[in-house]
Amino acid sequence: MSDMTADFDALASAYDAWFEGKGKLIFEIEVKAFEEALPLLPKPWLEVGVGSGRFARKLGIATGVDPSARLLDKARSRGIAAFLARGEDRVFEAGSFGTVFLIVTLCFVQSPSAVIQEANRVLERNGKMVLGLVLRHSPWGRFYLAQAREGHRFYKHATFYSYEEVTALLKSACLVVESTVSTLFQKPGEVLGIEDPRAGFYPDAGFTILVCGREADRQVESK
How big is the CA angle at 132 (ends 162 and 65), to the nearest 5 degrees? Answer: 120
Compute the distance between CA of residue 89 and CA of residue 133 in angstroms, rounded to an integer. 21
Mean of all residue pLDDT scores within the chain = 93
The length of the chain in residues reads 223
Q: Is the pLDDT of residue 8 over 70?
A: yes
Domains (ranges, CATH) in the chain? 3-222 (3.40.50.150)
Sign of CA dihedral 136, 216, 198, 24: negative
Compute the distance between CA of residue 136 and CA of residue 32 in angstroms, rounded to an integer. 22
Compute the distance between CA of residue 183 and CA of residue 185 in angstroms, rounded to an integer. 6
Rg (CA), the chain: 16
Question: Does residue 95 come out as left (phi exceeding 0), alpha (psi in the -120 to 50 range) or beta?
Answer: left
Write the pLDDT tens digit of every residue in 42-87.
Answer: 999 999 999 999 999 999 999 999 999 999 999 999 999 999 999 9
Quote the pLDDT of residue 219. Answer: 44
Compute the distance between CA of residue 171 and CA of residue 186 in angstroms, rounded to an integer. 30
Q: Is the pLDDT of residue 222 over 80?
A: no
Q: Are 128 and 212 in contact (CB under 8 A)?
A: yes
Q: Is the pLDDT of residue 218 over 60?
A: no
Quote the pLDDT of residue 220. Answer: 39
- Model confidence at 1, in pLDDT bands (50, 70, 90)? low
- Pick the closest to residue 36 from 149, 143, 180, 160 (CA basis): 180
